[in-house]
DNA sequence: ACGGACATGTAACACGTTACATGATTAA
DNA sequence: TTAATCATGTAACGTGTTACATGTCCGT
């Protein structure tokens, strides 16, 4: 699944320009998918060439014409076909977890700061998603709830278990600094 | 953070060849980071050129010589410097969640199958990680526990809330098929 | 006999990001 | 006046994957 499919998906919820697609992706999908202008605009042009979307150009004075795209029948079929493929496994790339793996190489203060930051971030994002669960379709609610559940679980885990990495980093520090081993 | 840093990290836990690095990544990091041979071998060569790792070649009869890499002092410093950067936000890419967003375009059976599959997968992975929590360093335990907590939270959420997407898909199906509207 | 583990490496390709180009309008 | 929002697009770049090349040994 690539940006092109994602564009088809967004358009299935309503016509939009490239710019608007980007914004909707940020609103709705940012937690589990990203896309930049540099990938969206070329994707739309290619989708148009392939007849999966069509485009109405709204002339605008003093700024580029706004090109509003809509799904064609073929586009909708392609989207459905694509969604029918069993989804591949999630890809996660977490610099935070990599850092935690090597916690014993870092000063304890640094580890703690990273965890604090992460904790705040997760709580903020969970709250943001919670606010979204009321005002939207069942699918949107489901997605928002899913995200919230995960952020909350991560935050809870961090609070309960942070001592595991913090104490290990402390030991390593004592080890290499010779703290408490002064003669 | 890229494959090069990850290689340094793995090497900080013990010397290894490219092949072994790949396997350790699969064991330990597969849940939140990926890397293929095609990226690891070039990375190691470049790290060697830059003096961050050094390499002892073990001659082997009838198969390519095994090149065992180890961190240099510079390499260790570079790794620590890299880890000290506050980690960027996690990147998640989930085809599953995208599919759920557009649940109303799919047959209910398909949705249910996707959720069942995901549920089994999460339960299996959680169990696998649970087994790992006993026999390893504090950092490894922390990471394994984190992964397990998230898989379990996701599974629990799916079981409790799957009706949200399943019923919506059903409604959409009734809508477009005209089921229950026969004359 | 066949696939999988061991072992390294390269080249073509895919995919996406970043930065740039262009430029008006509006709010702080 | 500075930044953000609106609006599209291209080119250079980075990073990683896939498939290929090469070959042995071991288990079934």
pLDDT in tens, A92-121: 999 999 999 999 999 999 999 999 999 999
Domain enclosing residue A141, as ranges: 95-177
Q: Is B39 (CB) below 7 Å from strand D? A: yes
Give a yes or no: residue A125 inside a domain. yes
Domain boundary among A62, A84, A106: A84
The confidence score (pLDDT) of residue A39 equals 96
E strands, chain B, in order:
53-58, 66-71, 91-93
How confident is the model at residue B67, as a pLDDT?
93
Q: Are B32 and A97 in contact (CB under 8 A)?
A: yes
Give me the number of domains chain B comprises: 2
pLDDT band at A136 (very low <50, low <70, confident <90, very high): confident
Per-residue pLDDT at B114 exceeds 90? yes
The pTM score is 0.89
CB A176 within 8 Å of CB A111 = no
Give the residue with minimal CA–C1' separation from C20: A38
Contact B100, B157 (CB under 8 A): no
Specify whether the CB–CB gap between A8 and A79 falls below 8 A: yes
Please report whether residue B182 resides in a domain: no
Domain membership of residue A90 (yes or no) is no
Residues B99 and B63 grouped into a single domain: no
- A130 burial (CB, 10 Å; 0-12 / 13-18 / 19+) is middle
Closest protein residue to C9 (Cα–C1'): B41
> Residue A182: CB partners within 8 Å, gap ≥ 6?
none
Which tens digits make up the pLDDT trace of A29-47? Answer: 989 988 999 999 999 999 9
Spatial contact of A175 and A104, defined as CB atoms under 8 Å apart: no
CA distance A119 to chain B (A): 12
Domain match, B60 and B38 both: yes
Contacts of B165 in chain A (CB under 8 A): 138-139, 142
A79 & A7 share domain: yes
CB contact at 8 A, B3 and B43: yes
């Amino acid at each position: 699944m690539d940006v092109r499919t994602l564009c088809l998906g967004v358009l299935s919820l309503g016509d939009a320009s490239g710019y608007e697609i980007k914004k909707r992706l940020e609103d709705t999908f940012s937690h589990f998918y990203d896309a930049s202008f540099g990938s969206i605009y070329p994707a739309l042009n290619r989708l148009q060439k392939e007849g999966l979307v069509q485009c109405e150009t709204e002339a605008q004075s003093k700024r580029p014409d706004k090109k509003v795209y809509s799904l064609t029948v073929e586009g909708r079929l392609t989207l459905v076909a694509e969604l029918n493929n069993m989804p591949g496994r999630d890809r996660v790339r977490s610099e935070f977890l990599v850092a935690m793996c090597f916690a014993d190489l870092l000063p304890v203060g640094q580890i703690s700061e990273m965890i604090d930051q992460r904790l705040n971030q997760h709580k903020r994002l969970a709250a943001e998603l919670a606010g979204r669960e009321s005002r939207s379709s069942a699918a949107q609610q489901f997605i928002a709830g899913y995200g919230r559940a995960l952020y909350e679980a991560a935050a809870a885990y961090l609070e309960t278990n942070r001592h595991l990495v913090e104490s290990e980093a402390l030991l390593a520090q004592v080890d290499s600094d010779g703290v408490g081993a002064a003669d």
